[in-house]
Structure 1
Amino acid sequence: MATGSDRDAVVDRRRDTVLVAERFVSTQGEGPYAGQRCAFVRLSRCNLRCGFCDTKQTWDWSRYRPAEVSRRLPTAQITDWVAGTGVDLLVITGGEPMLQQPAMAAIAQGVDARVQVETNGTIAPIPELAERVQMWVVSPKLANSGMPHAIRIVPDALAALTATGRAVFKFVVADVDADFAEITELQTTHGLSPVWVMPEGETVEAVVAGLAAIHDRAVARGWNVSGRLHVLAGAR
């Protein structure tokens, strides 16, 4: 498996600048806010190396050159940009954005918008960030990611995110039988609720087939179902 630098897993404690992969305005394609117009700020670097990752430009330096796919920007520039978009929802994603929490907190505190953070759930939030985030979309990685369990599942971090009272847990499903069994075990062991499941896939055909495979079985378990609207719409 291709890997990035070990430095990518180091928490960046700078507050005034942030390492950004991209920023754009679109609609949220996944989870509880799907379909809502929002500003995306994708932070660079990640502490995991998932095989199905669709944002490898944030960490895979065997394919990308860091200087060509990321920029260090003042956090004030990001807040000014969000204000100029006119949106009322900011989605901070990655990579793994929680590697840059002080900068995230500065951005979240500086915008007049709801803030949603998308995270893999391996890093607990710092208080000044936790108090400003309206929704945590936590996506613990399953065995289908190719990552060892001890690295991808961090109980203390999951507990801290659950304790905010504003977390949902979204899982990427590739093999329905195996993945549903693992999700059930994680839900029971760590008290994860509410649960959302979403098909893995980067084509319309894969997403539609995946939704058909998971929908009824997810509903029967009391779980929510997410599509991937950006894939279906051919958007970002």
Structure 2
Amino acid sequence: MNAEVLRGLGAEALILAEKFVSFQGEGPWAGQRCAFIRCSLCNLKCGWCDTPETWDWNRFTRAEVSEKVAVSELAAWVRECEVDMVVFTGGEPMLQQEALAAIARALPEVRVQVETNGTRSPIPELEPVVDLFVVSPKLANSGMGYATRIKPKALEALTGTGRAAFKFVVTDPRRDLDEIAQLVDDYKLESIWVMPEGTTAGAVLEGMAALAGPATERGWNISSRLHILTGSR
């Protein structure tokens, strides 16, 4: 269905779930004010996904939770927000790369961050206009098979940009950290961030406490979920 929905859109329009201004709550640029463009559609189905409205059409009606918006309209909205950073999130933004590239080109003074699950390689039009790819390869805790969630060529291409950070969602440190270490070794990943799964402040803080020691020992970074801790979007 995703391919059918996207057919013919190209660089003219984007299937949007929502847009809003807040601050980045996760990863290397956490705490910075920015505009969020949440893309609808995703090619994965994580069991703990906190935005199922972007892809789960058994639970949501696509026409009610998404809309087709012209890229010129979205670029104009970002300018009106008076921010110096835009974050494309999802869903999976890399399913709509031509539209992302068109919006980014229209905002030369705005830093561009793309949050992606790491299963799609950046196209030539998009790669040079992105300041940071925050790549979140999914672990076994997502409930999906390895071949579905890990795409070596895409990880290699994203690493090759020299502008990728890798952020992993951890549900069980005893199990997940060894799996992350194996992926880091197998695909020569750098700039590693580990983040607790959780949708309440208590769960996030507990998860960060559990990750602090092991992550430090492995030379990795810890990501909070500031939007959860502060009750923001």
Fold shared by both chains (TM-score > 0.5): yes
Q: Give, in whole Å, the separation in 1 of the partners of 2:166 and 2:4.
A: 24
Match of 1:209 in 2: 206
In the superposition, the TM-score normalised over structure 1's length comes to 0.96
Match of 1:56 in 2: 52
Q: Give, in whole Å, the separation in 2 of the partners of 1:142 and 1:12.
A: 33
Match of 2:157 in 1: 160
Secondary structure of 1:171's match?
A: strand
Match of 1:142 in 2: 139
Superposed, 1:211-230 pairs within 5 Å as 211-230=208-227
Output the amino acid matched with 1:47: N
The answer to whether the Cα contact below 8 Å between 2:40 and 2:54 also exists between their aligned partners in 1 is yes
Match of 2:77 in 1: 81
Cα drift, residue 234 of structure 1: 0.6
- Shift of the 11–158 alpha-carbon distance from structure 1 to 2, 3 Å rule, reads farther
Deviations 1:74-129 (A, max 9, x none): 00000000000000000001100000010110011111300000000000000111
Asked if 1:106 is matched to 2:93, the reply is no
Secondary structure of 2:125's match?
A: helix
Match of 2:32 in 1: 36
Cα drift, residue 218 of structure 1: 0.1
**Structure 2: stretches of 5+ with no match in the other structure:** none
- Shift of the 182–9 alpha-carbon distance from structure 1 to 2, 3 Å rule, reads farther
Cα drift, residue 62 of structure 1: 1.4
Secondary structure of 1:127's match?
A: coil
- Shift of the 190–11 alpha-carbon distance from structure 1 to 2, 3 Å rule, reads farther
Q: Give, in whole Å, the separation in 2 of the partners of 1:26 and 1:230.
A: 9
Deviations 1:180-229 (A, max 9, x none): 01000000000010100000000011001000000111011000000000
Taking only aligned residues, the RMSD between alpha carbons, in angstroms, comes to 1.4
Cα drift, residue 6 of structure 1: 5.9
Q: Identify which of 103, 126, 130 aligns with 1:129.
A: 126
Identity %: 56
Cα drift, residue 14 of structure 1: 1.1
Give the number of equivalent residue pairs: 232
Output the amino acid matched with 2:221: N
